[in-house]
Amino acid sequence: MKSPLAKAENRDFVGARVVDPVLGLDAIRTIVVRNGVVTALLDRAPSAADPHTERVDCAGMVLCPGFIDPHVHAREPGESHKETLRTALAAAAAAAFAAIAAMPNVRPAMDDASRVARLIADAAALRSARCYAIGAITKGRDGEALAPLRSMAAAGAVAFSDDGSATRSLKTLYHAAKLIADLPQAFLSHCEDPSFAGALMHEGEVSDLLGVPGSPALAEAAIAARDLLVAQATGKAWHLCHVSTRMTLDVLRWARTAGISVTAEVTPHHLQCTHELLRGFNAAMRVNPPLRTEADVEALRGAVRDGTITIFASDHAPHTAAEKEPPLSHACVGFTGLETAVAATFDALPDVPIKTMVANFSGNVAALLGVRGGTLAVGAPADITGLYLDRPWTVDPQSFLSMGKVTPFAGRTFKVRPALTVVGGAIVHRVGEQERAAAEPRPASGAKTAVRT
């Protein structure tokens, strides 16, 4: 099925620094788009004006292959009081994501072909960011009975997961992976031993002080090891969601040395925040996997630097304000992530080369999900992300397009700012003229601006 965006979209995006790790490109270029497809990358703007083509001034921006968030809880169907597909995609576009992948823990679960097809069709009709469907591994995500994986793949599911919890039965997970080992769709693991499901935070100094049950690093690493042994036994491509501990990184490195096909993602909050935020029983900061220690944060940053982690994800999990109120034991887990994801991730990793940052948001995600995109090569869909690398802005949750307003980054100021989102050549979000003018830096006379390379 063609997206409604796949119409005559003719634009020249001029004046920007274009970074495409797949092409090995980092230079000033004009991206020429015709009928929603990249048709040329020119070292200058076309000299002759074309009345049928819009010229988009992108001076001061970095243009990249469209970013893809592989881990979003869109909440629809079943929990539209938290988020709708429309608001999730609007938030994604505002956050510079040209596409998202929707996790299957909706109500009812995304566990049959008709639901997969419906999500894809509903998203396409909104003419916003793209939305890919991740199907459940088990019926109702109960961890026991296999969902119809092949029919969901035929309907368009790009991966499979029981995210929200680990697949409970090892036997079921093994048979599922063996059954569709021939299909390219990867399995995405939520790594949490179910016996620790009642934990409220990370097990450590702060949980001991507060006297609340915690989940140790072992609870994540043990399931990661189990699932990767299944990957080794079946040959199935695998991905670890929201890695949060040093111990899990050790498991991941072991798997790589054993020749297991595995990738892993990290979230901005696990790159930035620790369990110290829960002192005082701060229910708003309850998330799963929980915020860990400073040592875990540093290990995760190091894992991005050395290439152990190659994918960034928001784990966008919006809730109403009431659902995030105390007591800690009653607060829903997770918080809004889309509209701060890019800025907070760049902020956490200021020394990582821009080509790595862009690859982890685009080409590596496209490869994981097996979707077109992740590059601006001639013939690729014209999905483009535009960023300002030095346009400071302050996070105001009340301005979010997402219905969820709870974030650990409220009040934080970040340098990197989403500027433009293009899907199939259509501009689905751009910073307004007044907003751009207000964001223009005004360095003192003679001052130099640092540039990320």
Residues identified as active-site: 315
Q: How big is the chain, counted in residues?
A: 453
Identify the bridge partners of residue 386 per DSSP, sorted by sequence position: 63, 420
What lies within 8 Å, CB to CB, of 268 at 6+ separation is 312, 314, 337, 340, 341, 344, 345, 348, 409
Peptide bond before residue 108 is cis, with ω within 30 degrees of 0: yes
Asked if omega into 77 is within 30° of 0 (cis), the reply is: yes
Which structure tokens are listed for 194? 């179910």
Using CB atoms within 10 A of its CB, is residue 48 exposed (0-12), middle (13-18) or buried (19+)?
Answer: exposed
Q: What does the DSSP assignment read for 347-397?
A: HH-TTS-HHHHHHHHTHHHHHHHT-S-S---TTSB--EEEEESS--EE--G
Coil, strand or helix at 69: strand
Contact 165, 188 (CB under 8 A): no
Beta bridge pairs of residue 19: 26
- What is the phi-psi region of residue 52: left when phi exceeds 0, alpha when psi lies from -120 to 50, beta otherwise? alpha
In sequence order, the β-bridge partners of residue 62 are: 17, 387
CB atoms within 10 A of CB 34: 18
Q: How many CB atoms lie within 10 A of CB 334?
A: 22
What does the block give as tokens for 290? Answer: 């929980």
3-state secondary structure of 233: helix
* Burial grade of 451 (CB within 10 A; 0-12, 13-18, 19 or more): exposed
> CA-to-CA distance for 71 and 68, rounded, in angstroms?
9
Q: Could you tell me which residues are beta bridge partners of residue 266?
A: 312
